Structure 1
């Protein structure tokens, strides 16, 4: 099968997966009630949610900047934010969830050189992020579902396994980085991260990474609270919002649809339902949260179209390149 046809088939398949998941989520909901909530949203609360998602993106950009500095390649604060916003727009519109990673590697290599180092940083960030989300979700929801059903625990295990499948999916990033190499095996991919193991596996770097993760998850929880308020629903407590945010972010990491569409909304509706939020309110909030994500990516698209993504290449670093 020609490459272009394979890509078209993959996009069609992932759109079909997203559509099927949305249908499964919505089939038992009162769609009239959902539409009523969406038609009467609180615009102020929705704007606060969009602002919270911009904060989420800024924290993620700072986390990437910190890891890049730990690998020996500092990136300016403004430049890292512009590059991350640009990459985010690709993550949300391309099939899978690695398009933004490709863009970040490409841009930073063009600016600074050091392709292996840039790949290692992005791989380390992506794998550590998904791994952290998976471990925290398993621990948290195992406790919450302890009084529930075995089926709930099995469903959580399945979702976690799908999220962890994102790591092998990063091979796509390397295949797109022509003319570096046509293909890389998983062992060769993770060898890049191993090149800078002594830089990342330090208590200071790990503590900073976890702190940035906590701040980002708090921003996402705030956006979900704003989505619930915009939909006219009563928000559960801060702890419940944190659990819902973790589930939604884990769903977004599953690379089997377009930008996690369907998995994210399903995780949100199920998690909110666990904390007593009505299904129509949960679905309306999930759709508003997705809209916030899309609006969060709009500036990145404008940055890409304008070409103002960090200025001219920086001068060579004073240390040896990899």
Structure 2
């Protein structure tokens, strides 16, 4: 009962934060102009953006399949994609304390995958995506310096990028620290996880394909945002989309709101504003991107309704099983943010 109360309280706080941020952003905007952008978006460009995000699910699944194979788990491509789509349903449409990652682990377990491999596979998938995002932000810094004159914004994005690089380097090299410093059980989980990700990216046979897919996923997101921006009449260049959308994605991944709503909108308005995009148009891009995420989630929901596992599913059991799985307490919760 106490656990359910905590879950409800956490969900309520996230919901209130999402609503509060959206209301705060909307206060200073021309709502009629915002509505005009939303209803008059070029349908062809909206469909293009939707197609890109749907295509992204195949790339996501391909990356995850590579990771599972490196862990010695043979995951059928179609089965993996079905599990991934179901997890997006839970993440986007029915946000809860369980989340899509725990559901992914649970579904893997139903297919006979042991908990350690399920946890490692999902967590490594998340962190590999994060590394790809940080790599794009590092590559975009020179362009950011040459195209943006707001020193405070450059400092903020640059600091966020450097923090990401430092965090990644520390995690990947934890096992090189003296044994006495990493002997604690909680730290040991991160040490093993860092060694696993380092192996995947530096030593596995498919490392180039794995890292390339991690980059491609975020490039596709930037391309979808570019299409949506053009669809609402915003003058956003390809280069600006490439350097300003990754920070938006990174901030959206912080699990403090419902499926990133509110945080994504605030970050999109702030970042696209650096390229001269009016707030109403930037917010339209974010809301349309959110709508696309919901549509993709609904596809996952339809797949879930037809799934044989649905009859035996229990949110409480999935959450409890995931929390009891080896390593989940030390790394799963840390990296299971919105993609």
State TM-score, norm by structure 2: 0.75
Instruction: Give the whole-Å Cα distance in 2 for the aligned partners of 1:162 and 1:199.
Output: 22
Q: How far does residue 259 in structure 1 lie from its aligned partner after superposition? A: 1.3
Report how many residues are paired: 292
Distance in 2 of aligned mates of 1:94 and 1:10? 14
**Pairing of 1:170-319 with structure 2 (within 5 A):** 185=186, 187-188=188-189, 191=192, 194=195, 198=199, 201-202=202-203, 204-231=205-232, 233-307=233-307
- Residues 171-228 of structure 1 deviation map (CA, whole Å, 9 limit, x = unaligned): xxxxxxxxxxxxx846436535646864554164332122112322232122212322
Mapped to 2, the partners of 1:90 and 1:161 lie a distance apart of 32
- CA distance in 1: counterparts of 2:113 and 2:204, whole angstroms: 28
* 2:48 aligned partner: 48
Q: For each residue in 1:144-167, what CA deviation from the matched residue of structure 2 results, as whole angstroms up to 9, or x when unmatched?
A: 157534432454367669989x99
**Contact 1:89–1:298 (CA<8 Å) still a contact in 2?**
yes
Q: Structure 1, residues 79-121: CA drift from partner, whole Å, max 9, x if none?
A: 1111111111112245579711111111112213221012111
Instruction: Could you tell me which runs of 5 or more consecutive residues in structure 2 were left unpaired when the two chains were aligned.
Output: 169-184, 310-339
* Coordinate RMSD, CA, aligned: 3.1
Matched, 1:78 2:89: no
Cα distance between partner residues in 2 of 1:285 and 1:195: 37
Alpha-carbon separation, structure 1, partners of 2:198 and 2:133: 21
Shift of the 196–140 alpha-carbon distance from structure 1 to 2, 3 Å rule, reads closer
Q: Give unmatched runs, 5+ long, in structure 1.
A: 168-183, 310-322
SS at match of 2:111: helix
Instruction: Between 57-66 and 136-145, report the one with greater CA deviation.
Output: 136-145
- In 1, are the aligned partners of 2:141 and 2:158 still within 8 Å (CA)? no
Which residue in the other structure is 1:126 paired with? 126
How far apart, CA to CA, are the structure 2 residues paired with 1:297 and 1:163? 28
For 1:73 and 1:299, locate their aligned partners in 2 and report how far apart those are by CA, in whole Å.
Answer: 26
Q: Distance in 2 between matches of 1:228 and 1:5?
A: 41
Residues 67 and 205, structure 1, Cα contact 8 Å, conserved in 2: no
- 1:67/1:121 contact within 8 Å kept: yes
Q: Deviations over 1:114-148 (max 9, x none)?
A: 21012111111212222332353356347515753
* Deviation sequence 1:20-62 (CA, Å, 0-9, x none): 2212322222111001121223222212211111011111111
Call closer, same or farther: CA 1:120–1:137 in 2, change over 3 Å: same
CA contact (8 A) 1:138 1:156 kept: no
Cα distance change, pair 52–196 in 1 and its aligned pair in 2 (3 A): closer
Mapped to 2, the partners of 1:139 and 1:281 lie a distance apart of 26
Shift of 1:229: 3.2
Q: What SS does the aligned partner of 1:255 have?
A: coil
Distance 1:97 1:265 in 2: 22
Corresponding residue of 1:312: none
Q: Normalization by structure 1: what TM-score?
A: 0.79
